[in-house]
Amino acid sequence: MEDELMAGPDPAQAVLLLRLAGPMQSWGDQSMFNRRDTRPQPTKSGVIGLLAAAAGRPREQPLGDLLGLSMGVRVDQEGSLLRDYHTVSDYQGRPLPQAGVSAKGVQKPTSPAKYTHITQRFYLQDAVFVAAVAGPAPLIESLAEAVTHPAFPLALGRRSCVPSQPILLGISNESILEALTNQPWQAGRHARDAFEKSHGRLARIDRMLTVEAPDGDQIMHDEPLSFDPYDRRYATRRVTHLWRSIPTGFTNPVPPADASSAHDPFALLGW
């Protein structure tokens, strides 16, 4: 599988590298009613939606050339899960409406009367990801330009989740796996300082990658087919998870310690 993912570059293809970071992110793929969940890393539908917004494509517009793009994600900073707890009530003290409507198309009041509605929304806070989107070189170049001059406001999954800068890391002619492996670590300064304090200024760090693969071991239901609010449709795709050693980007890094000189817990036993 890895040999296929590391296949040599195709001159007609290119890879767009995006840094997805901000105070909060929310990448839901199965949210329903009063609960809005988030995946631990960006979904393909969320990233394609961000690119469509940057390019100025209305939700009702067919995705067209965005349908054939492939994607990979690298987790540079996991972040933590935040639950946002809401209660909703009518400001005039009236019972809340239910989903059902009358013959005139007016929502019926809840029965028995319900005056408070509870909703929960989940977010990733202080997370950083690198997304790699591959496709025809002319399309990738136009999307790179759109990301730096977006037609619509960009969001990390939900409208309230504003991305920090920079978003565009560049364009690569490598495969998705190679591009994600060679791109320097993008974690925030606090995470980098904590890593340096505990491990020193190492030249490389291990990070998890999720890339599309025909025989991947996990099925994701986040392949967008339509963003039309009245005709939202998604398909499944297969992905695989890998660990790769990536450059930390530290100035004057030091190589990892020689494994032969590492502490041996069985040395005193003579083993």
Contact criterion met (CB below 8 Å) for 178 and 6: yes
Domain contains 93 = no
Place 252 in a pLDDT band, splitting at 50, 70 and 90: confident
Domain that holds residue 38: 2-80+125-249
3-state secondary structure 145-206: HHHHCCCCCCCCCCCCCCCCCCCEEEEECCCHHHHHHHCCCCCCHHHHHHHHHHHCCECEEE
**Could you tell me what percent of the chain has a pLDDT over 70?**
90
- What CATH number does the domain containing 139 carry? 3.30.70.2660
Query: Average pLDDT in the 120-126 region?
Result: 92
**How far is it, in rounded angstroms, from Cα 246 to Cα 128?**
15
Domain contains 89 = no
pLDDT tens digits along 3-12: 656 665 677 8
Residue 262: is its pLDDT beyond 60? no
Domain contains 184 = yes
Domain contains 163 = yes
pTM, whole model, 2 decimals? Answer: 0.83
Q: How many domains is the chain partitioned into structurally? A: 1
Place 249 in a pLDDT band, splitting at 50, 70 and 90: very high
Domain contains 76 = yes
Domain contains 208 = yes
Query: Average pLDDT in the 229-258 region?
Result: 89
pLDDT tens digits along 143-202: 999 999 999 999 999 999 999 999 999 999 999 999 999 999 999 999 999 999 999 999
Domain contains 33 = yes
Domain contains 29 = yes
Of residues 251 and 259, more confidence is placed in 251
pLDDT tens digits along 18-74: 999 999 999 987 766 677 888 999 999 999 999 999 999 999 999 999 999 999 999
